[in-house]
Amino acid sequence: MVVETRPVVKVEEMPPISVEVETIETINNVNNITGTIADKDRYLLNTGGSRINPATEDTLSSINSKVATESTLSSIDSKLNSINSKITACNTNSTIVARRVSPFMAYNQLTVGTSATPLVTSSIPLMFGVVVKADINNSGNVYVGDSSVSTSNGYCLTAGEGIAFEIYDASKVYVVADTDNQKVYWLGV
């Protein structure tokens, strides 16, 4: 008995593509065999093991072009290793996470005149900053700045306007008005 083998390609959805070998027993009497194995007798198996018609399905070359190559898989593996190392770095004790919530706040209101006045005379440390607002009933403008603030160089707040900015100490913020008896509110966190 003569045994002929030929490969049958089994196409998987993900690599690797496996090749199965099917054995075909031929009849001892060769005279009884007529014809040749035609292309129509060759077939592919889908992932469920059923035959598929190569004329209506993707060809093997187009399937191969869709399969990830070793270099692509290596690149993906490299990127995953990079991500894993960053995750590991975040899980170590040396990682510091800043808390974006202030444990306190300071606030007050004051009446401002034509001389630069600090919001507060003693140091009040702040985590984030301060909000300064001019009273809605003010008849003049209030100007915000540092100890050298004046009506010609400060940030102008008309009646009802306010400003928020980051600063580490409320005592570093000064206000001045272009008219006496202007009210200012402030809040620091």
**pLDDT at residue 155 tops 70:** yes
Higher pLDDT, 64 or 122: 122
pLDDT in tens, 19-50: 454 444 444 444 454 555 555 556 666 666 77
Residue 127: pLDDT band (50, 70, 90) is confident
Residue 25 pairs with which residues in a beta bridge?
3
Q: d(Cα 68, Cα 45) in Å, to the nearest integer?
A: 20
SS3 188: strand
pLDDT digits (tens, 9 = 90+) for 43-60: 666 666 777 665 555 556
- Which class would CATH give 106-188? mainly beta
Strands (E), the chain: 3-10, 18-25, 44-45, 51-52, 106-112, 117-118, 130-134, 142-145, 155-157, 162-165, 174-177, 182-188
The domain segmentation of the chain, as residue ranges, is 3-66, 106-188
